[in-house]
Amino acid sequence: MYCTKKILDDLYWVGANDRRLAMFEGVYSVPRGVSYNSYLLLDEKTVLFDTVDKAVGPIFFQNVEHVLNGRKLDYLVVQHMEPDHSATMMELLLRYPDVTVICNQMTMNMIKQFFNRDLSGQSLIIKDGDTFTSGKHNFTFYSAPMVHWPEVMMTYEHEDCVLFTADAFGTFGALNGAIFADEVDFDNEYMDEARRYYTNIVGKYGEQVQQILKKAHSLEIKMICPLHGFVWRRKLESFIDKYVKWATYTPEETGVVVAYASVYGNTENVAEIISSGLRDRGVKTVMFDVSVTPASEMIAACFQYSHMVFCSTTYNAGIFVSMEEFLRDLAAHNLQNRTVALVENGSWAPTSGRLMKEILSPLKNVNILNESVTLKSSLKPGQEAEVEALIDAIDRTIPKFEAPVIDEKAMADAVVDPDVFKKFSYGLFVLTAKADGKDNGCIINTGVQLTSNPNRVTIAVNKANFTHDMIKATGMFNLSFLSESAVFGTFKHFGFQTGREVNKFDEHIPVSYRHSANGLAYITTGANAFMSCKVVDSYDYGTHTLFVADVVEAGILSDEPSVTYAYYFAHIKPKPQEKLEEERHGWVCKICGYFYEGEELPADFVCPLCKHGADDFERVG
Ligand code: FEO
What's the 7 CA to ligand 1 centre distance in angstroms? 21
Atom of ligand 1 nearest to the CA of 167: 1
What's the 166 CA to ligand 1 centre distance in angstroms? 8
Which amino acid is present at 235?
K
User: In whole angstroms, how far apart are CA 103 and each of 77, 108, 121?
Assistant: 6, 7, 13
What's the 84 CA to ligand 1 centre distance in angstroms? 6
What's the 603 CA to ligand 1 centre distance in angstroms? 58
Which amino acid is present at 190?
Y
Atom of ligand 1 nearest to the CA of 149: 2
pLDDT for res 585: 79
What's the 101 CA to ligand 1 centre distance in angstroms? 19
Residue with CA at minimum distance from ligand 1 atom 1: 167
Atom of ligand 1 nearest to the CA of 36: 1
pLDDT for res 399: 85
Question: 186: Cβ–Cβ under 8 A, 6 or more apart, which residues?
Answer: 194, 230
Residue with CA at minimum distance from ligand 1 atom 3: 82
Residue 442: beta bridge partners? 431
pLDDT for res 608: 75
Atom of ligand 1 nearest to the CA of 170: 1
173 phi-psi bin (left φ>0, alpha ψ -120 to 50, beta other) = left
DSSP secondary structure letters along 420-442: GGGG---B-EEEEEEETTEEEEE
- Long-range CB pairs of 396-399 (<8 Å, 24+ gap) are 397/307, 397/339, 397/367, 397/369, 398/254, 398/283, 398/306, 398/307, 399/254
What's the 500 CA to ligand 1 centre distance in angstroms? 52
Given a cut of 50, the residues of the chain with pLDDT beneath it are 578-579
Question: 463: Cβ–Cβ under 8 A, 6 or more apart, which residues?
Answer: 469, 543, 544, 545
Give the pocket of ligand 1 (CB within 6 Å). 80, 82, 84-85, 148-149, 167, 227-228
pLDDT for res 579: 47
Give the distance, in angstroms, between the CA of residue 60 and the centroid of all CA atoms in the same chain. Answer: 28
pLDDT for res 583: 63
Do 232 and 239 contact (CB within 8 A), yes or no? yes
What's the 53 CA to ligand 1 centre distance in angstroms? 10
HEC sequence for 513-564: EEECCCCCEEECCCEEEEEEEEEEEEEEECCEEEEEEEEEEEEECCCCCECE
Longest Cα–Cα distance in the chain: 97
Question: 57: Cβ–Cβ under 8 A, 6 or more apart, which residues?
Answer: 87, 88, 91
